[in-house]
Amino acid sequence: MVDLCEICQSAEFKYKCPKCFKKTCSLPCIKQHKSQDNCSGQAHDPTKYIDKETFKSADDEKHESNFLVQRDYQFLTKLRRSLEVEMKDGRLNNKRVLQSFGNNPNTKRARYDQECQRIIRRGVNCILLPKGMQRSQMNKSKWDKPLDLFVWSIEWILYPRKKTSSTQAEPFNHISHRVKETDTLLEGMGKIIYDKCCEFYQLANVEEQMPETKPERTQRLLEGRLKFYTKWFPYNTIRIADSKQLVELNPCQKSIAELFKNRTVIEFPTIYVVANASELPGEFSVVDEKAMQETPQKNASDSDSDSESDSADDSDSYSNSSDSNESESESDSNAEPQEESSKAQAIGSESIVAPQASDDDSDGYDPGVTLDFLAG
């Protein structure tokens, strides 16, 4: 049976009024319904009171459905669903904000300058910063499947030449992505870094034509004899701590994979470029990497030798004390025996027993059982 429009009673209904669920078929019927029944056409107010008689009158002929009950049920279902969606979205969007740190209100978040996660990438000890930090987000180092090799993100920091005038140019900072591990430092420098090197270190005259190909740029950088440095960290370190010690890198004879193998970086390498070592900022110092690696081994060997010497001194002192005790016992045996009265012996025995009692008192030991009942 086809349900007809309740207004015109001639066409099949297509719509239902959101407020009273009256069936209509077209816009003219909807307008007629609103004016005839004084209906706003808007959804009901869930807080409005509905008496029992109204609920009963809303039943159909077979008392199988009630549009008022269905309306309230749909409203509650929609409300529950919306709350679930908002809670889920809130957890995803504000995961770190809603993270629980226990019931103790004085509990503080973990400090990031303590132990951190680290991984070994192509022989390089990479310290990983917590997610959300700027350097962690800038790291695009990954394995490139089409190239079948590892590509690095590298930070370049260029320091201009020092000038006698008061106007000193600011250092240039740039991060290059997808730098192949098989390239040298000179080959890994992009055109942006090359142009800045020409500006800072006058690698090319104004009248000369700028090289267009990558080998030409690499050759021009090699002729410039620039100095390349990176920060030195202990290889097994797992703490985030800034280092002011730099080690020099060979920019043309070794690839990036060979240069940073068995070295430590924070997320990705940082390269400092200067014309000569004297133009580095005063806060940095250039160190010899081999000497820094041999220092911990030397300290370990010194500690081992000290422990051996201490044990030898202890054994010598023990032998000397044993020899002195033997000599004293021999001298006592060779000496003439002296007569002592029994009274003196009693006094001596009491003096020997007394310290034992004081030792028991000092230790706090109480036997709990006395032998006085044997005296009788």
Instruction: Provide the residue ranges of all domains of the chain, joining segments of one domain with +.
Output: 1-48, 118-287
Which of the four pLDDT bands, split at 50, 70 and 90, describes residue 224? confident
CB atoms within 10 A of CB 162: 12
What is the reported pTM? 0.50
In terms of pLDDT, which residue wins out, 42 or 113?
Answer: 42
Of the candidates 244, 246, 194, 249, the one whose C-alpha atom is nearest the C-alpha of residue 224 is: 194
Mode of pairing for the β-strands spanning 124-127 and 285-286: unpaired
Contact present, 73 and 67 (Cβ < 8 Å) = no
Query: What are 27-78's pLDDT values in tens digits?
Result: 999 999 999 988 888 777 777 888 888 878 888 777 777 878 888 888 899 9
User: Which stretch of DSSP H or E encloses residue 180?
Assistant: strand 172-180
The pLDDT of residue 206 is: 56
Q: 281-284 long-range CB contacts below 8 Å, 24 or more apart? A: 281/159, 283/244, 284/229, 284/244, 284/245, 284/246
Residue 125's pLDDT is 86
Spatial distance between the Cα atoms of 80 and 87, rounded to a whole number of angstroms: 11
Per the CB < 8 A criterion, the answer to whether 3 and 13 are in contact is: yes
Average pLDDT rounded to a whole number, residues 252-276: 89
Rounded CA gap, 236 and 242, in Å? 15
